[in-house]
Amino acid sequence: MKKCNKQGVPTIDEARLLLKEAEDLFPGPWVQHSLWTAQAAKLIAENYEELNPDVAYVLGMLHDIGRRNGLPNGITTIGHLLGGYNYSKKLGYDLLAKICITHSCPSKSINDIEEVVNKTCSHEDYKFVEDFFNKLEYTDYDKLIQLCDALALPDGFTLIEKRLIDVALRHGVNEYNVPKWKAFIELKNYFEKKIGKSVYSILPGVIENTFEL
Which positions lie near Fe ion, rule CB under 5 A? 64, 149
The torsion region of residue 122 among left (phi > 0), alpha (psi -120 to 50) and beta comes to beta
Minimum gap (Å) between residue 187 Cβ and Fe ion:
14
> For residues 30 and 191, which CB has a smaller minimum distance to Fe ion in the complex?
30
Using a 10 angstrom Cβ sphere, with 0-12 exposed, 13-18 middle and 19 or more buried, the burial of residue 73 is exposed
> For residues 64 and 112, which CB has a smaller minimum distance to Fe ion in the complex?
64
Residues 6 or more apart in contact with residue 177 via CB below 8 angstroms: 168
Give buried/exposed letters for 32-62 (b at 16+ CB in 10 A, else e).
Answer: ebbbbbbbbbbbbbebeeebbebbbbbbbbb
Minimum gap (Å) between residue 37 Cβ and Fe ion:
6
> For residues 125 and 149, which CB has a smaller minimum distance to Fe ion in the complex?
149
Minimum gap (Å) between residue 139 Cβ and Fe ion:
18
Continuous segment of H or E residues that includes residue 82: helix 77-91
> Rounded to an integer, what distance in angstroms lies between the CA atom of residue 172 and that of residue 179?
15
Minimum gap (Å) between residue 63 Cβ and Fe ion:
6
> For residues 65 and 129, which CB has a smaller minimum distance to Fe ion in the complex?
65
> Rounded to an integer, what distance in angstroms lies between the CA atom of residue 181 and that of residue 161?
8
> Rounded to an integer, what distance in angstroms lies between the CA atom of residue 68 and that of residue 168?
23
> For residues 1 and 149, which CB has a smaller minimum distance to Fe ion in the complex?
149
Minimum gap (Å) between residue 190 Cβ and Fe ion:
19
> For residues 131 and 185, which CB has a smaller minimum distance to Fe ion in the complex?
185
Using a 10 angstrom Cβ sphere, with 0-12 exposed, 13-18 middle and 19 or more buried, the burial of residue 186 is middle
Minimum gap (Å) between residue 151 Cβ and Fe ion:
10
